[in-house]
Amino acid sequence: MRKVAKVAVVAGSLVVGCLTAGSVVARDAGASDEQALAPTRHGPSRSIEQRVDRLLARMTTQEKLQQVQLLSDGQITDADAKAGVGGVFSLTDPAKIDHYQRIAMTQSRLHIPILFAYDTIHGYRTIFPVPLGAASSFDPDVARTDAQIGARESATVGIKQIYSPMVDVSHDPRWGRIVEGNGEDPYLGSVMAAARVKGAQGNDYSRPDRAVTSVKHFVGYGEPEGGRDYGTTDMSEQRLRNLYLPPFKAAIEAGADTVMCSFNAINGVPGCANRYTETEILKKEWGFDGFIESDYTAVAETRVCPPKTPDEGSCGHGTAADGPEAGANALMAGTDSEMVSTYLRDYGKQLLADGRISRKRLDDAVRRILRVKFRAGLFENPYVDQAKATDPASFLTPADRRAARTAAARSMVLLQNKGRTLPLDPAKKTAVIGPLADNQHDLLGAWWGRGEDADAVSVLKGITDGSSATTTYAQGCALSNEEPPDYDPADDCPSDAGFAKAVAAANDADQVVLALGETREMSGEAASRSRIDLPGRQQELIDAIAATGKPFVVVLFNGRPLTLSEVVGSAPAVLEAWFPGVEGGNAVADVVFGKVNPGGKLPVSFPQRLGQVPIYYNHEPTGRPCDVTQKYTSRYRDLRSCDPLFPFGFGLSYTSFTVSDLTLSKTTVSRRGSVVASVKVTNTGSVAGDDVAQVYLRDPVASISQPVRRLRGFERVTLRPGQSTTVRFTLDASDFGFYDNRGRFVVEPGTIQVYAGDDSTATLSRTFRVTR
Ligand code: NOJ
C-alpha cells in the first residue's frame, strides 16, 4: 500500500502532548480532553440525531430493553418482533426476514425496524478465499471485492449487517480462527480491515447493495493461551496498542459502525465486560458512535458457573455472580447489544430500579443502535425485494465467479519450485491425486456462509478443464469431515491402501498435482489443533509419489500455517492455496499451468516445528539473540536454525525480481514531518509477474524495546520481463512512533532504520534521524 493519504490523516488527528525526558509524546485525538478532535467518521447527521432523539423520547423502558436484545434465527418469534426486538442474526430466508420485519414495522408500537445480521466472512453465496488467503494477496482490492460482493448478496436477502471483518492479529497457528483474520501483522491487518469495510459499506450503507460491517473480536481474541479457542489472554498495554488494536482502529476510521466484543478475557477482564477497551478506548478515545454487540452468549459467559452444574447454560469467567449481574456489567462496561442471552431484556427494569444500570447508559446504548438503523436506511427501506431475493440470478453471477477466481489465484503463495517444476504443461497428461483433489466441500473453507459445495470447482475439474491432455485421478486416502464427538484424528488419511492406485496413476501420467492439507472443519471457530502438520499419512503419500520420479506439485489447502519441513524435503514444488473458495479448482489450474504467475506472500510465519510457536517476524529483540553456534542465546537446543521455515512476506514467482536503489527523500525529519522511501523493483526473469515491495522500520534505541522490524508499507506490482518500477512509501510519525506502556503514542528522537525488499528478511537498508 502506498501511503499517500495518510500524511493528511495524521496531520489532522495527531496531538502533540508534553515533552518528557528525551521524547516527544503525541497522543491520538480523542483521549478525553481531546475529544473534540476525535474523527467523526460520518459527520454527525443532524437529521439522524434528531430522529434518534425523537424516537428515544417516545420509548418505554421495556422498548429500550428490547432494542438492546439480539436474537438468533432459532430464538426469534412473532412475539419478539411485535415487542420491538433490536436485532436478529443468522436468519437468511428472505421470506422469514420479511415476515418478522413486517411484524416489527406494522405491529410493534413504534415501528422500529429489526437489523438482520449474518456471518458473511468471505462471501455469502459467492465464496472467496478465506481471509488469511486474501491477506496473502497483499492486495487490498481482493479483500475489498470480496466484501463488496458479500455485502451485496447479503443485502439482497435483507441482511444489512455483516459480522466481518474479523481482524484479530494472531501469532498462534494452533488457533483455528487464525484462518478468519489477516495473520500476524497489524499493518497488513489494518490495510485489509479498511479495505473490507469500504468494500462492504461503500460511502453509504443505506444503499440496497451495501451492509454495515461489524469488526471483531474486540479485542485480543487472537492470542488465547495454548491456542485454545476462547482461552484467556494476558498482555501489556503496549502490546495491546501496538499489535492488536491497530486493525480495529483502521476499520473504525474506514467507517465500520458496529463492533463485536470478544469471548475471551484479557488481563482477567472479559471482552464484553471491559470498560477500558469498550468505553475508554473505542468510544471515548476513538470517537466511535456506532454500537457494540456481544459475541454469542458472551455476556452470559462472564458469570460464574453454578457449583456442580457446569453445563447449566453459558457461564464461566466468574466476573459476575449471576445472569442479571452479567448483563449489568456488560452494559455498564460499554456493550450495547446482548447476543442470545436475555438478561438485560429480562432483568433490566429491576437492574434500573436497583441502580445497577443507569438510565443514561441504557439510553446511550439504544441511541447507538437506532443511529446505525437510521444510517442503514432501514426506516425508509425495511423490506426485502422478494423477487430479487429469490431470483437465482441475483447470486453467484458469472462476474462474481470471475472475481472469486482472480482473488483465489492472487491469494496463492508459491513456497517452493525446485528445478522450475512449475508451471506444468497443460498439453501433458496430468494425474490429480489426493484427498482434496476431487473435493468441493473443503475448498470453501471455514465460514462458508450460504455457499454450497455443489457451487465449488474442484481441483480435478479445474485441472481437467485447464488441460488439453488427459487428466486422471486417484484419491490416495480420505480425510474425515466429522465434527466432535464423532471426529477421530485417526480417521484422517488413516491407511496406505489407496496409495498403490495413486502411484499407478502417477506412473501413467507425465506430471502430478497432489492436493493435500486440512479439511475445512479443521480451522475456524472451536477448531484448534495440537499439531499443525499434514493430518494422517499424507506425508507418506507425498513420499510415494516422489518415488515415482514424476514432476509434481503439492497444492496445499489449509486454514493455518502448517509445519512443512518434511513436505518441502520431498516435494519439488509446493503451492499454498489456502481454502480458495468457490473457484478454487480453476484458480489452482490457472496458477499450476502458468496462466497466472503466483505473486502472493505469506501474511504469517510458517514455523519449522510447532515448538517454535509463537514465532513472528516483528518480535522484540533480546540481550541474547539467537545464535545456533552459541549456547547462552535465545534458541532451541534441538534446532539448527533460528528461523521459521518460511518468513512473513515470503513467496516465490515463476520469474525473478530484484529490489534495489533504496533512497530516502531526506535523512533528517521532524516528528511532524514525513520522509519518502523509494525503492526500485525489477523483473529480472523471462515472464511477467507480480512482486510485493515491502518496507520495514526499526527503532533501534527507544524508551521501551522495539520490534526488530515492523512492516510499514507494501505495494504489489506487476512487471513485464526486464521492466522496472519505482515504489514510494511516505513514512511519518504514525510509522516511526509507538505506544508506550501508559498507552501514549510517543515519537522519540533518534535513528530509524529502513529496510526494503520483498519479504521480512529484507537486507537493503538506510537510516534517517527523527529530530525533536
Ligand atoms: C460466534 C463467533 O465468535 C462470531 O465470530 C460470530 O460472528 C458469532 N458467533 C455469530 O455467529
Task: Give residue 657's Cα distance to chain centre.
Answer: 29
Percent of the chain beyond pLDDT 90?
92
Q: Whose CA is nearest to atom 11 of ligand 1?
A: 119
Residue 44 is predicted with a pLDDT of 65
| Pocket of ligand 1 contains residue 525 by CB under 6 Å | yes
Grade residue 312 by pLDDT with cuts at 50, 70 and 90. Answer: low
The question of whether 139 is a catalytic residue gets the answer no
Contact between 291 and 335 (Cβ < 8 Å) = no
The angle at the Cα of 64, spanning 58 to 66, to the nearest 5 degrees, equals 130
| Pocket of ligand 1 contains residue 338 by CB under 6 Å | no
Mean pLDDT of 164-180: 98
0.85 surpassed by pTM: yes
Contact between 148 and 125 (Cβ < 8 Å) = no
Dihedral of CA atoms 458, 463, 468, 471 in degrees, nearest 10, equals -90
Q: Whose CA is nearest to atom 9 of ligand 1?
A: 296
Dihedral of CA atoms 93, 98, 101, 102 in degrees, nearest 10, equals -150
Distance CA 523, CA 734 (A): 34
Q: Whose CA is nearest to atom 3 of ligand 1?
A: 295
Q: Whose CA is nearest to atom 7 of ligand 1?
A: 163
| Pocket of ligand 1 contains residue 119 by CB under 6 Å | yes
Atom of ligand 1 nearest to the CA of 90: 11
Distance CA 582, CA 559 (A): 15
Distance CA 86, CA 368 (A): 11
Task: Report how far ligand 1's centroid is from the alpha carbon of 130 (Å).
Answer: 16
Phi/psi of residue 408, each to 5°? Answer: -65, -45
Say which residues have a Cβ less than 8 Å from residue 357's Cβ, sequence separation at least 6.
327, 328, 331, 332, 344, 348, 351
Task: Report how far ligand 1's centroid is from the alpha carbon of 295 (Å).
Answer: 6
Phi/psi of residue 751, each to 5°? Answer: -85, 140
DSSP 8-class letter at 220: T
Which residue among 80, 98, 185, 295 is the active-site one?
Answer: 295
Distance CA 475, CA 661 (A): 49
Mean pLDDT of 337-357: 98
Picking from 26-30, 350-354, 543-547, 705-709, which range would have the lowest pLDDT averaged per residue? 26-30
Picking from 44-48, 154-158, 191-195, which range would have the lowest pLDDT averaged per residue? 44-48
Is the pLDDT at 161 greater than 90? The verdict is yes
| Pocket of ligand 1 contains residue 296 by CB under 6 Å | yes
Grade residue 651 by pLDDT with cuts at 50, 70 and 90. Answer: very high
Distance CA 423, CA 486 (A): 40
Cis-peptide, bond into residue 647, ω within 30° of zero: no
Grade residue 664 by pLDDT with cuts at 50, 70 and 90. Answer: very high
Contact between 617 and 648 (Cβ < 8 Å) = yes
Grade residue 314 by pLDDT with cuts at 50, 70 and 90. Answer: confident
Task: Report how far ligand 1's centroid is from the alpha carbon of 54 (Å).
Answer: 33
Residue 311 is predicted with a pLDDT of 57
Is the pLDDT at 39 greater than 60? The verdict is no
Distance CA 506, CA 730 (A): 51
Task: Report how far ligand 1's centroid is from the alpha carbon of 296 (Å).
Answer: 6
Residue 307 is predicted with a pLDDT of 72
Element (H, E) at 716: strand 710-719
Mean pLDDT of 266-288: 98
- Mutating to test ligand 1, I would choose from 119, 130, 528 the residue with most ligand atoms within 8 A of its C-beta, which is 119
Distance CA 377, CA 169 (A): 32
Distance CA 246, CA 6 (A): 14
Residue 36 is predicted with a pLDDT of 33
Grade residue 255 by pLDDT with cuts at 50, 70 and 90. Answer: very high
Is the pLDDT at 19 greater than 70? The verdict is no
Q: Whose CA is nearest to atom 1 of ligand 1?
A: 296
Mean pLDDT of 323-350: 98
Strands 269-270 and 471-474: what pairing? unpaired
- Mutating to test ligand 1, I would choose from 91, 170, 260, 447 the residue with most ligand atoms within 8 A of its C-beta, which is 260
Task: Report how far ligand 1's centroid is from the alpha carbon of 168 (Å).
Answer: 13
Residue 772 is predicted with a pLDDT of 86
SS3 category, 55 = helix
Atom of ligand 1 nearest to the CA of 214: 7
Residue 144 is predicted with a pLDDT of 98
Element (H, E) at 746: strand 745-747
Contact between 488 and 480 (Cβ < 8 Å) = yes
Is the pLDDT at 3 greater than 60? The verdict is no
Task: Report how far ligand 1's centroid is from the alpha carbon of 219 (Å).
Answer: 14
Is the pLDDT at 677 greater than 50? The verdict is yes
Q: Whose CA is nearest to atom 4 of ligand 1?
A: 295
| Pocket of ligand 1 contains residue 73 by CB under 6 Å | no
Instruction: Summarize pLDDT for 605-638 with one digit per residue, the tens.
Output: 999 999 999 999 999 999 999 999 999 999 999 9
Residue 175 CB neighbours (<10 A) = 27
Burial 400-428 (b: 16+ CB within 10 A, else e): bbebbbbbbbbbbbbbbbeeebbbbebee
Grade residue 291 by pLDDT with cuts at 50, 70 and 90. Answer: very high
Distance CA 149, CA 143 (A): 10
Instruction: Summarize pLDDT for 44-95 with one digit per residue, the tens.
Output: 688 999 999 999 999 999 999 999 999 999 999 999 999 999 999 999 999 9
Burial 345-381 (b: 16+ CB within 10 A, else e): bebbeebbeeebbeeebbebbbbbbbbbbbbbbbbee
- Mutating to test ligand 1, I would choose from 88, 90, 163, 299 the residue with most ligand atoms within 8 A of its C-beta, which is 163
Is the pLDDT at 7 greater than 60? The verdict is no
Is the pLDDT at 570 greater than 80? The verdict is yes
Domains and CATH numbers, the chain: 5-19+655-771 (2.60.40.10), 49-385 (3.20.20.300), 400-603 (3.40.50.1700)
Task: Report how far ligand 1's centroid is from the alpha carbon of 553 (Å).
Answer: 36
Residue 12 is predicted with a pLDDT of 26
Task: Report how far ligand 1's centroid is from the alpha carbon of 115 (Å).
Answer: 16
Mean pLDDT of 254-272: 98
| Pocket of ligand 1 contains residue 229 by CB under 6 Å | no
- Mutating to test ligand 1, I would choose from 295, 340, 448 the residue with most ligand atoms within 8 A of its C-beta, which is 295
Task: Report how far ligand 1's centroid is from the alpha carbon of 162 (Å).
Answer: 11
| Pocket of ligand 1 contains residue 278 by CB under 6 Å | no
